[in-house]
Structure 1
Amino acid sequence: MLHSILMADVISSHKKDAAQLLDQFKLTVKAINNQFADTIISPLTITLGDEFQGISTSVSSGVLLILAMEEFILANAFDFKLRYILAQGQIETPINTKNAHEMMGEGLTHARKQLNNLKNKEARFLLTSSTADHIMLTTLNDSFKLYQHFIDSWKVKDYPLVHQFLMNEDYKKIASQLNLNKSTTWRRKKSLLIDEYRTSKNIILNLCKLHDFR
């Protein structure tokens, strides 16, 4: 049986305040585990301080975890970025449903290797699957490149405003809530490419609906 393995690490973690980073990282992992408990087989577990691994019910479910984690980091204005690998593979030992430790298998070895390889590339997201349609999987990975373009264009100081735009599409209401000029708020929405971000995210979600990536 193939399992959907999700691994991630913090980019340039050595440049961050270690205590603050670990607190924020733990909070992020805990929040996603709680939010998606029904679609996580082995919970996301921090392994080396700046890395985590876990097992989701499907690749599509893993994609939802990634998107939710990125928006949680955004919503809390955390100053770190993650690099993800979501891969299908075999796990020969029993699945640990309490934490993602004490498991072995080709799938975990492959995912770890792919995550290490990703460190030499600009992409922060990589999905691999031996059963998914090649064109569909390639399109999904290309869509994540577009998604990354938008989220990486935002500075941490922009996160609170971006979060408001993602929670409410009506810029006039946001301007009123934040006591901002409406024209300025509209221009900020355009310059932050909020609509384009939404489009890239919707493409990813729709691709997952077209193919369940189990």
Structure 2
Amino acid sequence: MKRLYLVIIGDMVHSRKQTERSGIQNKFHTALGYTALKFADAVVSPPTLTIGDEFQAVLPPDGPLFDMLACFEFSMNYLPFRYGIGLGEISTRLNREAAIGMDGPAFYNARDALETARHNGFLYHFKGPTTPRTETVNLLLHWMSLERASWKLLKKKAYYLHGRALRQKDIAERLGITQPAVSKMIGTPGVHLFRQSLAHVEQLIGAMT
């Protein structure tokens, strides 16, 4: 059985409408570099700027997909991105220095998934084997897309910092808000279900190999 890989293509939403393009590009490069360094031991090919406002990364199927994206998004101060996630083979030689110069079904699936996400307004979409697991993954990803769309910036930051095991008091101090406000943000059923869904998606994808 041939080895499968997880390819992620991230695309900045409405990038041409963003003001201060040069500043955003600098932040983009910095965020990718920081994320690549932090997850160097966990990826096959690090997050790499490709064309325009897109980046690619290659992970093992059981890699830290959402931890990596969360780190990148926090570094970008949550400028909106959408993601195509593809599972499949890579038919060319692996490039472990940068996620470029490779080809194969994993990349085709990620590109198709990104186009589906773009067409339907989803944050995430996945394409892999045609199995009930894939359908379940996308049901969860689409729900996660809708849930995350309702979160304001401070809630996204509080969620991320809580996931890094910071205490509510420390999160409040870092964000300049009260501890009860943090508790209210991260204590909702939607937030708990989002975190559980995220973990379940990673388990389902990892089980497809």
TM range, normalised to the smaller chain?
A: 0.7 to 0.9
Instruction: Tell me, in whole angstroms, the C-alpha distance in 1 between the residues paired with 2:170 and 2:32.
Output: 32
Post-superposition offset of 1:209: 3.6
Cα RMSD, aligned residues only:
3.1
Specify the alignment match of 1:141 in structure 2: 138
Task: Give, as a single letter, the amino acid of the residue that structure 1 aligns with 2:11.
Answer: D
- 8 Å CA contact 2:85, 2:113 repeated in 1: no
Specify the alignment match of 1:54 in structure 2: 57
Instruction: Tell me, in whole angstroms, the C-alpha distance in 2 between the residues paired with 1:166 and 1:115.
Output: 26
Aligned residues: 204
Task: Give, as a single letter, the amino acid of the residue that structure 1 aligns with 2:151.
Answer: W
**From 36, 39, 44, the counterpart of 2:42:** 39
Task: Give, as a single letter, the amino acid of the residue that structure 2 aligns with 1:13.
Answer: S
TM-score, length of structure 2 as denominator length:
0.78
Match of 2:86, SS state, is: strand
* Contiguous gaps of at least 5 residues in structure 2: none
Post-superposition offset of 1:179: 7.7
TM-score, length of structure 1 as denominator length:
0.76
Post-superposition offset of 1:125: 0.5
| Structure 1 runs (4+) greater than 4 angstroms displaced | 157-181
Residues 117 and 146 of structure 1: CA distance in aligned 2, closer, same or farther (over 3 Å):
closer
Specify the alignment match of 2:65 in structure 1: 65
Instruction: Tell me, in whole angstroms, the C-alpha distance in 1 between the residues paired with 2:97 and 2:177.
Output: 47
Post-superposition offset of 1:40: 1.2
Specify the alignment match of 2:102 in structure 1: 103
Residues 23 and 137 of structure 1: CA distance in aligned 2, closer, same or farther (over 3 Å):
same
CA deviation vs aligned residue, 1:47-84 (integer Å, no higher than 9, x gap): 013101121111x31xx33343235423x461411111
Specify the alignment match of 1:150 in structure 2: 147
Instruction: Tell me, in whole angstroms, the C-alpha distance in 1 between the residues paired with 2:11 and 2:173.
Output: 38
**From 18, 21, 32, the counterpart of 1:29:** 32
Post-superposition offset of 1:45: 1.0
CA deviation vs aligned residue, 1:111-155 (integer Å, no higher than 9, x gap): 223322321112110122217xx3333223222233333332233
Whether 1:114 aligns to 2:113 is: yes
Match of 2:9, SS state, is: strand
Instruction: Tell me, in whole angstroms, the C-alpha distance in 1 between the residues paired with 2:113 and 2:200.
Output: 25
Asked which structure has the greater CA Rg, the reply is 1
Task: Give, as a single letter, the amino acid of the residue that structure 2 aligns with 1:47.
Answer: T
Match of 1:43, SS state, is: strand
With 198-207 and 22-31 compared, the bigger mean Cα shift is at 198-207
Residues 193 and 139 of structure 1: CA distance in aligned 2, closer, same or farther (over 3 Å):
farther
